Amino acid sequence: MATITQTMPTTAIELPNLHDGTGERQRNQISHTEPEAVADEVMQQSLLADSEVPDGGYGWVLISACAVVTWWFVGVSYTWGVMQAELVEKKGYSSSTLAFPVSRYWLFLNARLIRLIGARITACLGIFLLGLGSILSGFATDSIAGLFMTWGFVGGLGTSLCFMVVSVTPAQYFKAKRGIANGIVYAGGGLGGTVISFILDALLQKVGIAWTFRILGLLIMATGLPAAWLIKERAAIKPTKMVEWSLFKDVRFAVLFAVGVIGTFPLFVPAFFLPLYTSSLGLPSSAGAGLVAAFNFSSAIGRLSCGFACDKLGSLNTLFLSLLLSAFSIFVLWPVSNSIGPLVAFVIINGSANGGFFSTMPTVVGNVFGSARVSVAVGMIVSGWLGGYLMGAPIAGYILNASGGQEGGIRAYRPAIFYAGSMATAATVLAAVLRMKVDRRIKKTV
């Protein structure tokens, strides 16, 4: 074993003797690490763990399996607008009320569960609950409370379990390619949303709302469970605190937490309201489903591109750029989208930026705070997203209703659009603050 000792009291890191050059590269990285970072025991553990990652091998099987899981839990969330439009038309529900069930009751205290039962069982449980929630929703279409409990609570719990698994396991297999690995995982969700939107539109026309829910649930289980079974940790996740409050003493973590809290409020607004918006333009339901598909396909491209950009430009730079594009598209493009052309441009740009946020955040956490801390740090940060997921789209729905609803034409959507744009802008400003806090050099890859 080779030992590298920093010029500070009782600090030493042992690295494995790797023969492919990776070990030497990692040793060089550690030897130039700032003393204050090495003094952090968790960062030491992260550097050691990162020196051993294969950056490939079974990691690609894991990434493929995680992408299938993400296909379903992200895809069904981003295609809720198709179901929402049908429920508004056939059942007479309001759009603001229907936005609540898809908020999914995301419960992000699941890092401890992964440590207790393992990533594989957690992923299988998550997919099972997601599918079960959809099947049960087929029996609850006449009850808002029923949709809350089935699609919202049962399916939402499954969603949160799946999210935590795909967010923390890739870091055990990838370091140099961590960004692109996370990008592939979350691109699966965008592609899933693209395909699912067309599937839902076809099923709704042929079998109705109830059976669409049931068939969707069966598809989730049939394809998601085999993929979930392929997910496994490379090494057991060490026991840690469920909440590491000391992280909030780090200004970087506090600002990143705030970016997530604010940035999630506008994320689902475009995807949820596109079918209703196209209806207000006088376009058929198939156009709405097509735009949701385009949004999700763009999201997949954005997730993959931002994952690649994280490795080349830096994860913090990529996070800032994705939020900037999101704010620009909502404020500048959506308000003038009074025909299909500008609306398609908005869908492509906003979908790409929207997807980039999700694929970039886990990479930011792993790179800035250490891979050994990624499970607890991601759990804490994503817990802050609960408000945005629970209230972001419903607030937009209430604003829309107060402005005249669908009957008010596309002008009635503008107050809700400006609300979403303002939240996206605030998150962009905070991302810029975080970027400058980490390194003030503009051209630095961070």
Domain hosting 266: range is: 53-438
Residue 10 CB partners (closer than 8 Å, separation 6+): none
In this structure, the answer to whether residues 10 and 107 fall within a common structural domain is no
Any domain includes 230? yes
Identify whether residues 40 and 57 lie together within a single domain. Answer: no
**Do 275 and 352 sit in the same domain of this protein?**
yes
Q: Which tens digits make up the pLDDT trace of 82-111?
A: 887 788 777 777 665 665 555 444 444 556
Residue 440 has a pLDDT of 83
CATH, residue 330:
1.20.1250.20
41 lies in the same domain as 58: no
Same domain, yes or no: 157 and 9 = no
What are the pLDDT digits (tens) for 251-285?
A: 999 999 999 999 999 988 888 788 888 888 888 87
In a domain, 208, yes or no: yes
Q: Is 142 inside a domain boundary?
A: yes
Same domain, 26 and 172: no
Tell which of 31, 46, 61 closes a domain: 46
What was the pLDDT predicted at 12?
A: 34
Between CA 304 and CA 4 the distance in angstroms is: 36
Looking at the structure, do residues 400 and 266 belong to the same domain, yes or no? yes
pLDDT per residue as tens, the chain (446 positions): 333 333 333 333 333 343 444 444 444 443 344 434 433 565 666 556 656 677 788 989 999 999 999 999 988 887 887 887 788 777 777 665 665 555 444 444 556 677 788 889 999 999 999 999 999 999 988 888 888 889 888 998 898 889 889 988 887 888 778 788 888 998 898 888 889 988 998 999 899 999 999 999 999 999 999 999 999 887 766 555 667 778 888 899 999 999 999 999 998 888 878 888 888 888 887 788 788 888 888 988 988 898 888 888 888 999 999 999 999 999 999 998 888 889 999 999 999 998 888 888 888 887 787 766 777 787 788 888 878 877 888 898 889 888 887 777 788 899 999 999 999 999 999 999 999 988 888 777 77
Find the DSSP H helices in 53-79: 58-78
Does residue 443 sit within a domain?
A: no
Q: How many domains does the chain have?
A: 2
Do 168 and 134 belong to one domain?
A: yes
Q: Is residue 444, in this structure, part of any structural domain at all?
A: no
User: Are 332 and 297 part of one and the same domain?
Assistant: yes
Torsion on CA atoms 344, 203, 224, 366, rounded to nearest 10: 20
Going by C-alpha positions, the residue among 109, 124, 132, 136 that lies closest to residue 162 is 124
For residue 316, which of 425, 430, 426 has the smallest C-alpha distance?
Answer: 430
Give domain status of residue 445, yes or no: no
Verify that 130 and 273 share a domain, yes or no.
yes
The answer to whether residue 335 sits within a structural domain is yes
Q: How would DSSP label each residue in 5-50?
A: E-SSTT-EEEE---SSSHHHHHHHHHHTS-HHHHTSHHHHHHHHHH
Whether residues 21 and 68 fall in one domain: no
Is residue 133 domain-shared with residue 14, that is, in the same domain? no
Stated as kind and residue range, the H or E segment containing 123 is helix 111-137
| 113, part of any domain | yes
In the 8-state DSSP scheme, what is residue 141? T
